[in-house]
Amino acid sequence: MVPPPRFGLVSFDNYLPDPNQPSQAEAVRVLRAFAAGLGEGAGGSPDGRRRWFRKARPAAAGAPRGVYLDGGYGVGKTHLLASLWHATPAPAERKAFGTFVELTNLVGALGFQETVRTLSGHRLLCIDEFELDDPGDTVLVSSLLTRLVEAGVALAATSNTLPGKLGEGRFAAADFLREIQGLSAHFRPLRIDGEDYRHRGLPSAPPPYSDATVTEVAQRTRGASLDDFGALLGHLATVHPSRYGAMTDGLHAVCLTGVTPVPDQATALRLVVLADRLYDREVPVLASGVPFDQLFSEEMLEGGYRKKYFRAISRLTALARDAKGLLEA
């Protein structure tokens, strides 16, 4: 549970705040202080796990135990979260970084009590892409984070949705208001405004290529995959999303023919997870068919998962731009 390759070397120093968005520079300042507060000099026990909350801030009893980076897609939230992980003065085995899906998968693999025992020894838990898609996740994560906070673990998370608004538009969130409010109480929200940095000042993404071009590039590119888009979507339905990262390990490029709009919400959400894992691993995507901004229907882009879909479009477009180098190689 460490930052993925794309964010393996990031830092607060190489995060470039937009001068027109003061909230970005403010986020860097707050997170630097947050990391420093987790250092050995913050007081408390020798291992540093509890002191930030108990001795360094004695008046903070009942106050939020973490920071929650809220903002639109492409404002650098994951960069900042990974920078916090790197800046926290603790050995790698004492801090954890993972997506929300990876965290719930960890509970599924280890069981709830063993997950609590394993993570309770950490100084920091970073959760990327914090989103509640069903009531089960709401109850599970609320209970888990409460136990970890009681053990003295600091929390940090990113999301496109304020903690008090999680689950809206996806399930009957009002029925689980107590759990959602409990989750919200663990965090201090930190709003980050701005436009999508992946496309700031850059030319538009290249248009899709022909099937023949995609196939030719795949055949001459070492470590490239070549798949029909429809067949790929069918295959994703047979693999648990927690395995999508492993499925992409070792790939140097993804080549897709016949890209079409996704047919339904379940398929679309699986594609979002795949897009995230490809982006994490900096795998360029070369495709034929419709442009990536036509993958999701208007109904999907107006529904409860719209921010996920816009994130996927943004990331796939960036990977398509990266794929231009494959044609020039």
Q: What is the largest CA-CA distance in the chain?
A: 66
Q: Say whether both 165 and 145 belong to one domain.
A: yes
Q: What is the structure's pLDDT at 215?
A: 96
64: left (phi over 0), alpha (psi -120 to 50) or beta: beta
Q: What is the structure's pLDDT at 168?
A: 45
Cα separations in angstroms, 45 against 35, 41, 165: 17, 10, 36
Query: What's the rounded Cα separation, in Å, for the pair 37 and 200?
Result: 33
Instruction: Please identify every stretch of the chain with a pLDDT value under 50, giving residue numbers as ranges.
Output: 41-63, 162-164, 166-180
SS3 155: strand
Q: Report residue 87 as tokens.
A: 């800046």
Q: Nearest to residue 69, comparing CAs of 58, 59, 78? A: 78
Domain that residue 271 falls in: 203-328
Mark which of 191, 216, 250 sits at the end of a domain. 191
Question: What CATH number is attached to the domain comprising 41?
Answer: 3.40.50.300
Q: Say whether both 215 and 309 belong to one domain.
A: yes
Block residue for tokens 């882009």: 301
CA 95 to chain CA mean position, Å: 17
Please say whether the beta carbons of 267 and 298 come within 8 A: no
* Domain assignment of residue 315, yes or no: yes
Q: Nearest to residue 141, comparing CAs of 184, 191, 174? A: 184
Q: What is the structure's pLDDT at 253?
A: 95
Q: Say whether both 134 and 213 belong to one domain.
A: no
Q: Say whether both 51 and 136 belong to one domain.
A: yes
Q: Nearest to residue 18, comparing CAs of 68, 86, 72? A: 72
Q: Say whether both 176 and 300 belong to one domain.
A: no
SS3 283: coil
Q: Say whether both 175 and 26 belong to one domain.
A: yes
Q: What is the structure's pLDDT at 55?
A: 36
Q: What is the structure's pLDDT at 52?
A: 38
Side chain identity at 311, as an amino acid letter? R
Q: Say whether both 22 and 160 belong to one domain.
A: yes
Mark which of 161, 191, 221 sits at the end of a domain. 191
The three state secondary structure string of 76-96 is: CHHHHHHHHHHHCCCCHHHEE
Q: Say whether both 55 and 142 belong to one domain.
A: yes
* Domain assignment of residue 197, yes or no: no
229-236 and 265-280 are packed helices; what angle lies between their axes, rounded to 10 degrees? 100
Q: What is the structure's pLDDT at 38?
A: 83
Please say whether the beta carbons of 125 and 96 come within 8 A: yes
Residue 173: phi and psi, rounded to 5, are -60, -30
Q: What is the structure's pLDDT at 150?
A: 87
Q: What is the structure's pLDDT at 176?
A: 36
Q: Say whether both 122 and 43 belong to one domain.
A: yes
Block residue for tokens 């109850």: 139
Structural domain count, the chain: 2
Q: What is the structure's pLDDT at 136?
A: 64
Q: Say whether both 29 and 160 belong to one domain.
A: yes
Query: What's the rounded Cα separation, in Å, for the pair 165 and 181?
Result: 9
